[in-house]
Amino acid sequence: MITDAQALAQFCEQARQASFLAVDTEFVRTRTYFAKLGLVQVQAGDATVLIDPVALSDKTQGDPLQPLWDVFADHDKTLVIHAGGEDYEILHQHMGCLPTAIFDTQIAAAMLGEGEAMGYAALVQQQLEVEIDKSQSRTDWMKRPLDQEQLDYAAADVFYLNQIYPRLLAQAEQSGKLDLILAESAWQAEKRAQTIPPEWLFLHFGNAWQCNPEQLSVLRELLAWRYERARTADIPLGFVAKEHVLLEIARRMPKSKGQLHGIKELSSVTVRYAGDAMLAAIQRGQEQGPLEVPLQRLTDMPGYKVAFNAVKKCAQELADELAIPVAMVASRRQINDVLHWCWQIPPHAQAQLPLPDLFASWRGAKLKNTIEAIVKK
């Protein structure tokens, strides 16, 4: 357990000598917009360490974990992470950048045919025939002191990962899939670091197609306001306003707090503290005039089914070529995302938005030209 700067500095020197690092994080994100980092677990060679950012913050000015972040940012240091998703997000939040060499064992297992979307416990059971306790997965990692069960649980997340990595690495090298696994691991991390400019959030709002051009302009302003409010106050988006509530407000376009009170599920507390800001957003949307963006329900668009099936066929062919499950090439959602991008997102918006999965990284290199030809038919 590392709770002071001197111990952290000593460990970081040791970690720099390890050939790779098994890494995990524990955090809490129930009532905040930004995740609160409760623990960082690292296995470096034979050393299993639990780094306590809460204790370190009490003793150190600035970012107490900066020496660790410097190690993680080393281009020559592979970080082994399982199903990194939110780990990548919180690492980017604290590091200000992403680790440059990541091997995600969930991605590796899927690419190697060991099992798709395998949880950590299932992977440990499969690879090492060890059953681990996952009863602490919903625990409060910000409370102090952490009890022994929590510490054991946290340590196991990197202790066994350290043993699994060499096995999967050997399989990846033997099968010729290592570069693909590394590319997909890097892409999944990069996605967690991407942001959508507030003015374009409405393009990714599931039911925006239900709005007419005037309502769509109002919805754009409401979504941008909610995003800025959540980040500034560090509260979840849903605590500011639920999505279906914002849609209803955009469709009704109320002009007073009294009319806001008539919106079902919009609490009186929200109207009291945020009513003026909501009304201002509505007014901005109305003043900017109708928003002429060709949004409609994707599945109702002419040629949708034909295009979907054509992209799906291309994904299957690529999966066969690479000898990986087709789900690792393109899911239904990823196909819909790329069709939405091609048919409904204006070019000037595309220039400011992250690419859809099927146009980016190794997928884009293989599929982009073919998909563009499909959607133009």
Residues 290-317 pLDDT 10s: 999 989 999 999 999 999 999 999 999 9
Residues 221, 186 share a domain: no
Q: What percent of the chain has pLDDT over 70?
A: 99
More confident residue, 15 or 63: 15
Residues 216, 172 share a domain: no
Q: Is the pLDDT of residue 138 over 90?
A: no
> Which domain range does residue 320 map to?
298-376
Mean pLDDT, to the nearest integer, of 352-377?
Answer: 96
Q: Is the pLDDT of residue 265 over 90?
A: no
Mean pLDDT, to the nearest integer, of 80-104?
Answer: 94
Q: Is the pLDDT of residue 202 over 90?
A: yes
Residues 60, 171 share a domain: yes
What residues are labeled active site? 24, 26, 87, 153, 157
> pLDDT tens across 152-176, in order?
999 999 999 999 999 999 999 999 9
Q: What integer pLDDT is reported at residue 264 of this predicted model? A: 85
Residues 157, 78 share a domain: yes
Question: Which residues, other chains included, contact 364 with Cβ-Cβ below 8 Å and sequence gap of 6+?
Answer: 355, 358
Q: Is the pLDDT of residue 334 over 90?
A: yes
Q: Is the pLDDT of residue 354 over 80?
A: yes
Which residue among 193, 223, 255 closes a domain? 193
Mean pLDDT, to the nearest integer, of 228-252?
Answer: 96
Q: What is the largest CA-CA distance in the chain?
A: 68
Q: What is d(CA 335, CA 367) in angstroms, rounded to the nearest whole number?
A: 11
Q: What integer pLDDT is reported at residue 365 of this predicted model? A: 97
Q: Is the pLDDT of residue 245 over 80?
A: yes
Which residue among 247, 263, 288 closes a domain? 288
Q: What integer pLDDT is reported at residue 258 of this predicted model? A: 95
| E-state strands within 251-376 | none
Q: What is d(CA 106, CA 123) in angstroms, rounded to the nearest whole number?
A: 8
Residue 310 in any domain: the answer is: yes
Please state the domain count of the chain. Answer: 3
Q: What integer pLDDT is reported at residue 37 of this predicted model? A: 95
- Nearest Cα residue to 214 out of 296, 284, 279: 284
Which residue among 141, 166, 193 closes a domain? 193
Residue 220 in any domain: the answer is: yes
Residues 61, 20 share a domain: yes
Q: What integer pLDDT is reported at residue 162 of this predicted model? A: 97
Residues 277, 131 share a domain: no
Q: What integer pLDDT is reported at residue 61 of this predicted model? A: 74
Q: Tell how far CA 53 is from the center of its chain.
A: 22
Residue 293 in any domain: the answer is: no
Q: What integer pLDDT is reported at residue 177 of this predicted model? A: 98
Mean pLDDT, to the nearest integer, of 8-17?
Answer: 96
Residues 372, 303 share a domain: yes
Mean pLDDT, to the nearest integer, of 117-145?
Answer: 90
Q: What integer pLDDT is reported at residue 92 of this predicted model? A: 95
- Nearest Cα residue to 120 out of 167, 161, 173, 91: 161
Which residue shows structure tokens 């992470």? 81
Q: Is the pLDDT of residue 58 over 90?
A: no
Mean pLDDT, to the nearest integer, of 236-252?
Answer: 95
Residues 278, 327 share a domain: no
Would you say 202 and 220 are in contact if contact means Cβ atoms under 8 Å apart? Answer: yes
Residues 129, 13 share a domain: yes
Q: What integer pLDDT is reported at residue 321 of this predicted model? A: 97
CATH number for the domain that contains residue 266:
1.10.150.80
Q: Is the pLDDT of residue 137 over 90?
A: no
Mean pLDDT of the chain: 95
Q: What integer pLDDT is reported at residue 377 of this predicted model? A: 75
Residues 116, 165 share a domain: yes
Question: Which residues, other chains included, contact 202 with Cβ-Cβ below 8 Å and sequence gap of 6+?
Answer: 208, 216, 219, 220, 223
Would you call 221 helix, strand, or coil by DSSP?
helix
Residues 282, 263 share a domain: yes
Neighbours of 336 (CB within 10 A): 17
Residues 176, 97 share a domain: yes
Would you call 115 helix, strand, or coil by DSSP?
coil
Q: What percent of the chain has pLDDT over 90?
A: 93
Q: What is d(CA 5, CA 22) in angstroms, rounded to the nearest whole number?
A: 21
φ, ψ of residue 80 in degrees (nearest 5): -100, 120
Q: What integer pLDDT is reported at residue 62 of this predicted model? A: 80
In this prediction the pTM is 0.93
